[in-house]
Amino acid sequence: MQIMMVAPIKKRKLGKNGLEVSALGLGCMGLNFGYGPATDKKEAIALIRKAHDMGVTFFDTAEIYGPLTNEEVVGEALSPFRKEVVIATKFGFKPASKDETHWSALESRPEHIKTVVEGSLKRLKTDVIDLYYQHRVDPQVPIEEVAGAVKDLIQAGKVKHFGLSEAGVQTIRRAHAVQPVTALQSEYSMWWREPEAEILPTLEELGIGFVPFSPLGKGFLTGAIHQDTKFDKTDFRNVVPRFAEENRKANQGIVDWLTAFARKKNSTAAQVALSWVLAQKPWIVPIPGTTKIHCLEENLQAADLILTKEDLHEIEQAFAGIQVQGARYPQHLMERVGR
């Protein structure tokens, strides 16, 4: 079923600012945040290092993941070959109360950014962050001030590239006018294609790269999740409408079709889903995450799977007739995207 890797993962350039990375990155969040109990630290480090051994040079984390502990794991895992990899992390949140394990308050004031970058640098065991994203747009702080603060960090040699996450078109344009944006990170996959309407054309116009998170639909497009799946009580998907039992049942046809198509390509549903994302634009670099080495190996083989024009047309025709059920976020989180 699986495709053998015969060469290192190809490289891609994120936008026009010279940032070159492996065509597939590794989203590290799920190793200890968002999808149930944390992975054993030694196992998490081993997985990250396995990804590096297989040619991944792009690793994604954030201070809120854990919180703080994900950056520590990534920093320790990558420290032996720091100069060979690109590390992306994010700012923009703070604890919502004295309970510092619950980070939900937005915070992107320039003085805050310039303070928290020091913590990220220390946890990541590095003297420079390759790509520093604003995690979510803060409506209380003009984006020009945010971009200006990151510009100062770039001039100080603490950051190399500026990124945004889940930002809307006007925010992207305003930020880019102050400090060129290297990459936008937002959700994008076969079953969440909203970025195609306005975001992708804007990024292409401005020369900004695109880093899709959840390119496997938070695991659904792999076929490993079905209507009877029980998530851990700490799993974020428990509050995601698209993962309500009735919506998983309604959306099962997507995976059934994808699995059958993948079989014709001597591949897996996950590999087709990732290859499809890669086929959309040459400046797109998805960052699938996993806690299992066999899934990591499966995902990375997608870089060698070529979908023909006929394949892409067949996929397009199939999905044109599918109405995905369920919102991708609960309402209170939907209010924080696309600003």
Within 13 Å, how many C-alpha atoms sit on residue 285's CB side? 30
Catalytic residue flag (residue 65): yes
| Spatial separation of the C-alpha atoms in residues 179 and 155, rounded to whole Å | 11
Give the relative orientation of helices 199-206 and 169-178 as an angle to the nearest 10 degrees: 20
Of 203, 152, 136, 201, the closest CA to residue 176 belongs to 203
Task: Classify strands 19-22 and 181-187 as parallel, antiparallel or unpaired.
Answer: unpaired
Of 35, 65, 132, 133, catalytic: 65
The amino acid at 271: Q
- Helix extents (H) in 89-232: 110-123, 143-155, 169-178, 199-206
CB atoms within 10 A of CB 97: 10
Element (H, E) at 259: helix 245-264
Catalytic residues: 65
